[in-house]
Structure 1
Amino acid sequence: MRNLNLDQLQTLVAIADLGTFAAAAQALHLAPPTVSLHIKELESRLEAELVVRGRRQAELTPAGEVLVQQGRQLLLAAADLAERVQRRASGREGIVRVGVSAGVSTRLLPRMLDALARRSPGVEIRLEAVGSADAMRRLAAGTLDVAIVASPQAPTPEVRLTPWRSDAMVALLPAAWNAPDKISPAWLAPRRWASFAPATQMHGLVAHWFGQAGLYPRPFLALSYPGALKSLAVAAQCAALLPLEEVEDQRHTPDVQIRHLDPPLVRPMAVAHRQQPEPTPAVASVLEVLREYGDGA
């Protein structure tokens, strides 16, 4: 079988989106016979009927639906590749795909992006919210360039891990609670508290903190976004266990109080990037900014 023609694939996707050959021709600035020829050649190439031509609408066959679903991703990848080539040819630095786990501070991230924009305006960051385990797999597969992940992670030959930050965890409590100076597992366990969702390593970190005291309480609520956890405490619904960096903006807010944990709990994070090929100048710029915001800066 010959390779797919992307122009023909784009024509099929346009028909799927717009419903008729005529509408697809108009949207793609093609003559109607050209649209028909694209579909005929695509069906011949794949030896499969892709479109049923009705009186008013064109409908995809099951084979056509599969091709459109996967073809959208192929067209996006092709567009991304073309943009990368054009950026390199014009001297612009390029696109860097960065995976960010739920535990990364929503206060710290904008500061890092601002620093990168001022230093390397030619670098475009494409952020993706992705769990640490998925980020490691995607780095190895080459669909991410850099990721901020929870530590530790199992080492792989494709990915390099560098310790980044070890942020203290704290309890964000409603202001009305009569709380001790430091929050212990025994004090918090019988009360309403919220933390990160079970799919995150942050959840395991908190569970281990309770487990060391012989306690295994279930959270009142488990969420994936730090901002939502903060909102619960501000609304006097429950306590939230979060990195100190995430709640610094709440330090002088009358609705909540911040307490350190006893025993202390630290959230370690690492920066991960692909070992091969060597980092491009754009990726190197991102890694340099991340280093400046790490513990060792």
Structure 2
Amino acid sequence: MRELNLDQLRTLVAVIELGSFSAAARALHLAQPTVSLHVSELEARLGTPLVVRGGRRVTPTGAGDVLAGRARRLLRDAAEAVDLVKRHREGRLARVRLGSSSGAMVHLLPQILETLDAELPSIDVQVTVGRSTELMGKLFVGDVDIALVAMPQAGYPGLGLTPWRHTPMMALVPARWEAPRLVTPAWLASRPLIVNEPSTHVYQQVMAWFAAAGLRPTGRIEMQYNEVARRLVAAGYGATILPFEDPSETLEGRIQVLRLRPALTRQLGVAHRHPSLLDEPTRRVLALIGKFRALRGG
């Protein structure tokens, strides 16, 4: 019998933990037929069914449950072995892979990395920036060790998500516009709007804010990058609502940063695997990130 394939074992674990082939395909960034093929080849190689198909949720057989338990350990050991070799090659004592949501962390992330480099110089912190939902999937399959994400998020087995920071959402309005001290949905909906892409948490929160007032405005442009959106506001192209972290976002007085009525807050969280599965470097990085819980001036 040929040796077991780690990619196929990773697929089996994802199918069992997520309960469906389609969910596993999304988490692993594979085509669904590929996921089905991985499980079928494992079953053919071992000569026994590993999952029960046909129900609303895929469940493991007795053999599948046993194999998945061992597979988790094998996958963890393989990742650690590769990591040890890389750390040896680079002369580093440890590595922690940090995932960060792109919009909310544009100002805070450099501060975190600067502090990590100063206080934990022996730990190589590697950063992946992306959307919160994508980072949760990367954390689940082991591509990152910690993820700083917007809340709420869909739950993944074996992952914890702890509230971390409350970031105020503010209206960013061109400086030359006449604007009220407190921006309401009715006032903002009548102006040209710059909105995030519909798949983002910011977009969903902002649209819910308008919807609570019975409004469904259409954006003049959908912008993936918050920094570009700010510059469009400064140029007078439109107004937007974004998480507000740093006074420099006024772009030298070309933007008015105004409070919303009703107020809107973005909740950020720290996601990681179960504490019993974390190594000491990851624990130390988590502890340091916890120091950034308070808002500036809070």
TM-score by length of 2: 0.68
Q: Residue 100 of structure 1: CA displacement?
A: 1.5
Residue 272 in structure 1 maps to residue 286 in structure 2: no
Unaligned runs of 5+ in 2: 4-77
CA contact (8 A) 2:194 2:221 kept: yes
Structure 2 residue aligned with 1:284: 283
Structure 2 residue aligned with 1:72: none
Structure 1 residue aligned with 2:150: 150
CA distance in 1, matches of 2:170, 2:138: 31
CA distance in 2, matches of 1:275, 1:111: 26
Superposition pairs of residues 26-65 of structure 1, within 5 angstroms: none
Residue 200 in structure 1 maps to residue 214 in structure 2: no
CA distance in 2, matches of 1:136, 1:227: 23
Secondary structure in 1 aligned to 2:277?
Answer: coil
Q: Residue 294 of structure 1: CA displacement?
A: 1.0
Structure 2 residue aligned with 1:259: 258
1:271 partner amino acid? V
Secondary structure in 1 aligned to 2:126?
Answer: strand
1:39-62 Cα deviation digits (max 9, x unpaired): xxxxxxxxxxxxxxxxxxxxxxxx
CA distance in 2, matches of 1:221, 1:95: 40
Secondary structure in 2 aligned to 1:285?
Answer: helix
Structure 2 residue aligned with 1:102: 102
Q: Residue 295 of structure 1: CA displacement?
A: 3.2
Computed over aligned residues only, the root mean square deviation of the Cα atoms, in angstroms, reads 2.7
CA contact (8 A) 2:202 2:242 kept: no
Change (3 A) 1:170 1:151: same
1:212-271 Cα deviation digits (max 9, x unpaired): 0000111112222221111111111111211121x4213482312110101000011100
Matched positions, count: 223
1:79-101 Cα deviation digits (max 9, x unpaired): 99545345379994422222211
Unaligned runs of 5+ in 1: 4-77
2:274 partner amino acid? Q
CA distance in 2, matches of 1:189, 1:134: 30
Superposition pairs of residues 57-206 of structure 1, within 5 angstroms: 82-85=82-85, 87=87, 92-206=92-206
Secondary structure in 2 aligned to 1:267?
Answer: strand
CA distance in 2, matches of 1:268, 1:158: 21
Structure 2 residue aligned with 1:244: 244
Change (3 A) 1:137 1:83: closer
CA contact (8 A) 2:165 2:294 kept: yes
2:268 partner amino acid? M
Secondary structure in 2 aligned to 1:218?
Answer: coil
1:94-146 Cα deviation digits (max 9, x unpaired): 22222211332311110110000001111112211222222222212111111
CA contact (8 A) 1:93 1:281 kept: no
CA contact (8 A) 2:170 2:241 kept: yes
Secondary structure in 2 aligned to 1:152?
Answer: coil
1:196 partner amino acid? N
1:99 partner amino acid? G
Q: Residue 155 of structure 1: CA displacement?
A: 2.8
1:265 partner amino acid? L
Change (3 A) 1:116 1:215: same
CA contact (8 A) 1:175 1:257 kept: yes
TM-score by length of 1: 0.68
CA contact (8 A) 1:84 1:95 kept: no
CA distance in 2, matches of 1:83, 1:135: 20
Q: Percent identity?
A: 35
Change (3 A) 1:180 1:90: closer
